[in-house]
Amino acid sequence: MAPAPAPIPTPETREFWEGTARRELRIQRCTACGKHYFHPRPFCPDPTCASDAVEWTVVSGRARLSSYVINHRPLPMFEVTEPQIIAIVTLDEGPRMMTNLIGVDPDPELLVLNMPLEVDFVTRGEQWLPMFHPAVEEARR
């Protein structure tokens, strides 16, 4: 299933979308147990913690490819006709995120699991969506 093309901010996600509009990837972190998490919610998702002492943080935007599908259905309302790579990436900070890969052909030979990725931001409707491209500084990681 594709991510929603132009999500509507809610009170819980407004900070996330304000971040992407500034080219920042913001997720939440629990200050009680120290874990980052996604999607946004007002309490820690770890059931052994469940603290409401949570804060928003700007994360590195670095991630690894965890899984993907190549979606050949076009999105004509956004004039997207090329195949889309819909991916699950694991942020360096820990949480997983559903996103799109860009800057790489939808060719399984180029899509190596665990490959390093970096965030980019692509406008779609009124929002800036975080998408990921292969890391350009892999040699330094």
Q: How far is CA 72 from CA 12, 25, 114, 125, in A?
A: 32, 27, 23, 21
Q: Which amino acid is at 123?
A: T
Q: Is residue 31 close enough to count as binding Zn ion by CB under 5 A?
A: no
Q: How far is the CB of 74 from Zn ion (least distance, A)?
A: 41
**Is residue 49 a contact residue for Zn ion (CB under 5 A)?**
yes
Burial of 106 (0-12, 13-18, 19+ CB in 10 A): middle
**Cis preceding linkage at 39, omega within 30:** yes
- Residue 31 CA: distances (Å) to CA of 73, 90, 95: 41, 21, 15
* Binding window for Zn ion (CB under 5 A); candidates: 16-24, 29-37, 79-87, 129-137: 29-37
Q: Is 98 in the site for Zn ion (CB under 5 A)?
A: no
Q: Which is nearer to Zn ion, 35 or 133 (CB)?
A: 35
Selected binder of Zn ion within 25, 27, 30, 131 (CB under 5 A) = 30
- Considering only 32, 104, 115, 135, the residue that binds Zn ion (CB under 5 A) is 32
∠ at Cα 49 (43, 54), nearest 5°?
A: 35
> Which of 25, 27, 44, 86 is the binder for Zn ion (CB under 5 A)?
44
Distance CA 37, CA 28 (A): 6
Q: Does 104 bind Zn ion (CB under 5 A)?
A: no
Options 14-22, 25-33, 70-78, 97-105: segment touching Zn ion (CB under 5 A): 25-33
Q: Which residues bind Zn ion (CB under 5 A)?
A: 30, 32-33, 44, 46, 49, 51
